[in-house]
Every structure is written in C-alpha cells, then in structure tokens.
Amino acid sequence: MENDIGIHYVRGGNVVKRQIIDKIKQYDTIILHRHVRPDPDAYGSQIGLAELIRANYPEKVVYTVGEHDSSLSFLAFPQHIEDTQFNNALIIVTDTANTERIDDERYKKGNFIIKIDHHPNDDAYGDLLWVDTNASSCSEMVYELYEEGREYANWQMSDAAARLLFAGIVGDTGRFLFPSASPKTFETAGQLIQYNFDRNQVFDGMYEMERKLLNLQGYVYQHFEMDENGMAYIKLPSSILKQYDATPSETSLLVGSLGNVKNIRAWVMFIEDNDTIRVRLRSKGPIINGLAKKYNGGGHPLASGATAYTWEEADQVIDDLKAICKEYK
C-alpha cells in the first residue's frame, strides 16, 4: 500500500521484500547506514545486510558508513568513503526510526533510499519503506529478507552475515529475555547458529565487562532510587564516570542492570555526555516510548532512549515516569 505522501509502506509481506531485492539487483553501488550511537543490532542489521549483499552480488560495490563505536570492534568496522561514492548509489538505512538519528548525513546524496526498521514509523522517510514493529530486531528482519531472497533470487547466507545477524538479535532481545523475543526470533536464531562462527566470542564481546564497569555497576546498585510504584532511576554525572574511568558509551552495558530488582516496573538511567544527558528508559510493562518522544527521542514500547539538556529536565523525566508507573495497572 502507499501512505498519504506517496511512499510505499508495507508492514511485513513478500511484496516489499521483493521490491527491496529488486532495488539491490538494480544498483551497482550500495551504501548502508544505521543510527548514531550504534548498538549490536545497528551493526548487525547494517553490516550483516552488507555481507549478505556481498556474498550474493560480489560484483557490486557495497559500503557501510557511520562513526565507529570501539565497544563494537569485536563485531565489525564501518568504512570511510568519499562524497563522490554517493553519486547514483542505492542507500539502505537500517534500525533508524527518524532522519535525525541517521549516522552520516550524506545519505541524502544517494539516488534512492530504503528504510528497514522495527521502531514505530513516526518518521516515514525514504522512497521505499519496510517497517515491522513486531520484529524483535532489525537483524531479524534482515534474516526475513534473506529468506525471501532465497526463494526469489537464490540468495545464500554467509557465515559472516549469520554472525552479525545473530549478534544483533541477541543484543536487542537481551539474550532472549525481553518480551520482544517471539517464537519466530528463536527459530531465526536456531537457523543462524548452524553457520560457522564462534558464539562464545560474540557473547564475550557483548557482555564481558572490565573491572571498572563492574565497580560502576556496584555504584548503580548502591545509589539507585525506587518509589512505591516500582519506578527507579539512577544519575551518572560526568564526575562519577570520571571516578570510575568509564565513558558514556560503555555504560550501555549497565542499562539492564536494574531489571533484576524485585518489584521494579520501569527505570531510567541518566548518563552525562559532554553538553547533553543521555536518557535510557526500560520497562517491564508501562509503555515508555511516548515519554521518550517527548524528550527528543523514541524507541520501543518497553525500551527507548531520549536526550535531556539539563539536570532539571532530567528531573522532569523522572516525574513523568513516576506518573506513568503510578497509573499502570
């Protein structure tokens, strides 16, 4: 179907997947983007799809761009390319809900833009969209695209692509513990682990922590606040990060820590990052992505991110989340 601005938008279904495959066949140069501050699903879907395209169309020039996050070096590295490479290129953006979060604004220079995402479609950018909010991860969607490609265009899965897609699924499902992990998710993971890659290396890269982060995790457990409605929060100003020799990006490993606290319903972690405050929201029931959208962010109903610019604004987030948890039945 088409939405009211004339862009093809299909939630699932074979038609849009075949349209994407046809576009991949059509272009000689393909450039893949993902969101800023990448997580394993950003790398998994972006670079995993790139490896899938390289395996099936070795004659094509395929690039993956965006600022590298050193915590994801165990997975892969993006590439640095010149502006001229974008001329007449197909652009595929994965795991990115809105244009403000696309890493590398040169995506606008491409000839045709495809959006593949599992976040709510608040920003319907691109010329061809495939958005499925029921998918556990964008990496799971890329595996679905592979399944269609196998039937439609004789696609083959590569070990490199399987490894990246598996990592993306593991990351966005919290090792399959989050409610987003469906029977389809487990089935997909079961298919991917049949390929030749080291699962232990993936898990170690994603979840091993240096002692300094374990110490910071201890600080989180000692200093978080929780009210009678199960709303909890922790503030990590730059002074605390400096004390534990931790970077803002490294704290991503700690966001789920409070999920083990008995009777918790939703929580927010604030991480000071230069002149902004990263707001990481998680929930076991109350819907929080509307709150994230209010504060310059967005995401999933139970896992979202936002940005605050002062600690006073952070306190407003806390008050709003308290109200959400109080109203939750």
| Helix, strand or coil, per DSSP, at residue 62 | strand
**pLDDT confidence band for 249 (50 / 70 / 90):** confident
Q: Which pLDDT value is given to residue 11?
A: 53
Mean pLDDT of 243-252: 93
Sequence letter at residue 247: T
158-180 residue pLDDT tens: 999 999 999 999 999 989 988 88
Using 50, 70 and 90 to split pLDDT, how confident is the model at 14?
confident
Give residue 173's Cα distance to chain centre.
11
Closest CA to 117 of 138, 142, 92: 138
pLDDT at residue 6, as a whole number = 36
CATH class of 210-327: alpha beta
Question: What are the extents of the domains in the chain?
Answer: 8-205, 210-327
Give the pLDDT confidence of 58-69 residue by residue, as tens digits.
Answer: 999 999 999 999
* CA torsion, ordered 124, 120, 193, 53, to nearest 10 deg: 0
**Cα 193 to chain centroid, rounded:** 21
8-205: CATH number: 3.90.1640.10
Largest CA distance in the chain: 60
Categorize the per-residue pLDDT at 13 as very low, low, confident or very high, splitting at 50, 70 and 90: low
Q: Which of 247, 190, 323 is nearest to 71 (CA)?
A: 247
Mean pLDDT of 217-235: 97
Q: What is residue 33's predicted lDDT score, i.e. its pLDDT?
A: 98
List alpha helices for the chain, DSSP H. Answer: 14-26, 40-56, 138-153, 159-172, 183-192, 199-207, 211-223, 238-243, 289-294, 311-327
pLDDT of 150 above 90:
yes
Predicted local distance difference test score (pLDDT) of residue 5: 34
The percent of residues in the chain predicted with pLDDT above 90, rounded, is 86
Tell me: pLDDT of 325 over 70. Answer: yes
With contact defined as beta carbons under 8 Å apart, do 25 and 17 qualify? no
Angle among Cα 41, 44, 50 to the nearest 5 degrees reads 140
Rg of the chain (C-alpha set): 20
Query: Kind of pairing, strands 266-273 and 298-299?
Result: unpaired
Please report which confidence band the pLDDT of residue 122 belongs to, taking 50, 70 and 90 as the band edges: confident
